[in-house]
Amino acid sequence: MNDLVKGVVINSIEYKENDAIVTVLTEEFGKVALYVKGYKKITSKNVYATQLFDHSSFLFDFNPHKSIQILKSANLLSQFSNIKTDYEKIAAASVICEIAGGIEENIYNLLYQTLNRLNDNEQIYLVLNVYLVAILNILGISPFVDGCVNCGRTDNIESISINEGGFLCSHCNREFNDEIFDLEFLKKFRITNKASFDVFDKLITLNLNDFKLTDLLMLILITYSGIYLKSYQSLKNLNH
């Protein structure tokens, strides 16, 4: 009764004339669908705490046997205003939240940390890349970047194979014929796949704010997780 939990709004769907069902990722209960009455009314006491990306505290009576909980009240904790005033950050945050909603694992702490970094930092794709690496690790589908995924050799690496799941050397790539990348990009891809938010400040100077890295990591995620991301197209459109 009267469960008060912190969470991040990762999705919202308008319902009836003025209401909505918002999906919140919480630490305690994972993903929770909340019925928000008067969502579209300016006079609603909850309107400023239940918008997409909001980090808020939510009061409701959690019933594990019901798919939708009734929200009693919500209090805004973090609005992430720098995200909401930047179209590219909005597109990135939409991808981040859609991924969080599409996996079974509860990544509340990772999600909150990622949105904080995105809000406070202008290296949008560095933030997104570190998040994607964490997701790939959690799902157990990280690419092999310590040598050739086919033969194990550590020299003459020339390609990143999505189908094979990692680096390919020039010898093995004769068979697979994957795209050849320059050495600098291959180094950046390896560093990115070793990265985490624990060392984020050190990553800022390494030129990893690269959408091409993002696109490869997203392709790996989509290929091996089965997650379909509608929001990613908007981000791609901004980079083409």
Model pLDDT, residue 16: 84
Q: Which of 77, 82, 26, 31 is nearest to 54 (CA)?
A: 77
Cα–Cα distance between 113 and 115 in angstroms, integer?
6
Q: Which of 112, 127, 103 is nearest to 55 (CA)?
A: 112
> For the segment 171-186, what is each residue's pLDDT rounded down to a tens digit?
999 999 999 999 999 9
Q: Where are the domains of the chain?
A: 3-79, 82-142+182-238
In the numeric block, which tokens belong to residue 13?
């769907």
In the numeric block, which tokens belong to residue 59?
């009061």
- Cβ(193)–Cβ(142) below 8 Å: yes
3-state class of 29 per DSSP?
coil
- Cβ(41)–Cβ(78) below 8 Å: no
> For the segment 35-45, what is each residue's pLDDT rounded down to a tens digit?
999 887 777 88
Cα–Cα distance between 238 and 226 in angstroms, integer?
24
Q: What residue type is 157 in one-letter code?
A: I
Cα–Cα distance between 153 and 131 in angstroms, integer?
28
- Cβ(39)–Cβ(92) below 8 Å: no
Q: What is the pLDDT along the chain (240 residues), one digit of tens a residue?
A: 789 999 999 999 988 888 999 999 999 999 999 999 988 777 788 988 999 999 999 999 999 999 999 999 999 999 899 999 999 999 999 999 999 999 999 999 999 999 999 999 999 999 999 999 999 999 999 999 999 999 999 999 999 999 999 999 999 999 999 999 999 999 999 999 999 999 999 999 999 999 999 999 999 999 999 888 999 999 999 998
Residue 33, φ and ψ in degrees, nearest 5? -90, 125
Question: Using the 8-state DSSP alphabet, how is residue 8 labeled?
Answer: E
Cα–Cα distance between 26 and 3 in angstroms, integer?
12
Q: Which CATH architecture has domain 82-142+182-238?
A: Up-down Bundle (1.20)
Q: What residue type is 46 in one-letter code?
A: N
Residue 83, φ and ψ in degrees, nearest 5? -70, -45
Q: Which CATH architecture has domain 3-79?
A: Beta Barrel (2.40)
Place of tokens 């091409």: 212
Cα–Cα distance between 41 and 39 in angstroms, integer?
6
Q: Which of 136, 140, 188, 189 is nearest to 161 (CA)?
A: 189
